[in-house]
Amino acid sequence: MSANGKLNVAILGASGYTGAELLRLLMGHDGIHVAALTADRRAGEAVGSVYPHLAHLDLPDMVAIADVDWSGIDAVFCCLPHGTTQEVIAGLPKHVKIVDLSADFRLYDADTYAQWYGGKHSAMDLQGEAVYGLTEIKREQVRAARLVANPGCYTSAAELPLIPCLAEGLIETSGIIIDAKSGVSGAGRSPKEGALHTEVSEGIHAYGIASHRHTPEIEQELSEAAGEAITVTFTPHLMPMNRGILATTYVTLKNGATADDLRGALARQYTDEPFVKLVPQGQAPATRHVRGSNLCLLGVFADRVPGRAILISALDNLVKGASGQALQNLNVMAGFEETAGLPQVAVFP
């Protein structure tokens, strides 16, 4: 703990979008002190040189990971690329609580990880202690964890509406179709041809068709909720916007269930939750209603095809889909109020 009794936190990979978003949120958290920031390629630079909107804040300069004094660090947000996180986390002292925003500890099965991420998992002993951090579903496991695997953005948008419906046996486990759209920030800050303005603006395109890496994560968590293996059809699309995910999910109703029954299941699961909200009947969630907030909005509609229903969810991919959920998880792990640092009302228009 810092001299003023705050939790000392480090952000690894602070020069990326999720690191910058964490800094924005942490400035409103009274119980956390940002003690260290890393960005190996920008080591020695001030955060303001990378993100001018953060230049006025009292923050440490960015350093290489090897130069962090871990003896004074209580918790870490790991915002490093997939595949690079395992070795770093394996080398951290045991007293440090970890929220990992990469995919490296989300998948329980080593073979599944190798199949989808193209390499052997090098820290399966740590994988065994990792808790999947969909906070509203696994809050008690998160509370007791040292290492939390923060869910992916698409996966959070898919799992939050589907898990209660599957857990109550209201929908068929086969034929689930998830059609999702994301803002460009989901691709990260590294230069990519496909993320150029001229490639993205004034259009929409599907990508990762039948091969997106969030698919096994979605199937893992849905299968756990249903108590049987589930395979989904998941197709992501890139939208000409900076932030946001909208997921439209098509399901087949089971045993005479109705769309109202699905709405009831979501209400039972989330009525008392601060960040997952069921919108009024007949309204559709929209990304512009969650921008900058830690909210996930849910809606339910009866399909005109008998026996089917449509679930719609919207969240900000950088907040509830990444950094906001990470802070929510650390709040639970460290015993803070779960909403600390996360009261932001959506930015509109």
Which residues are tagged catalytic? 153
Using CA atoms, how far apart are residues 234 and 256, in angstroms rounded to an integer?
26
Provide the sign of the torsion angle of the four alpha carbons 180, 183, 184, 189, taken in this order: negative
AA identity, residue 110: A
How far apart (Å, rounded) are the C-alpha atoms in residues 61 and 36? 8
* Range list of H helices, the chain: 17-26, 47-50, 85-90, 110-117, 124-127, 135-143, 153-167, 197-200, 214-226, 259-270, 324-334
CA distance 162 to 102: 23
Rounded to 5°, the CA angle 100-272-281 comes to 105
Dihedral over alpha carbons 132, 137, 143, 144 (to 10 degrees): -60
Exposure of 280 in the CB half-sphere (CA atoms within 13 A): 1
* Both tokens assigned to 40: 């190996």
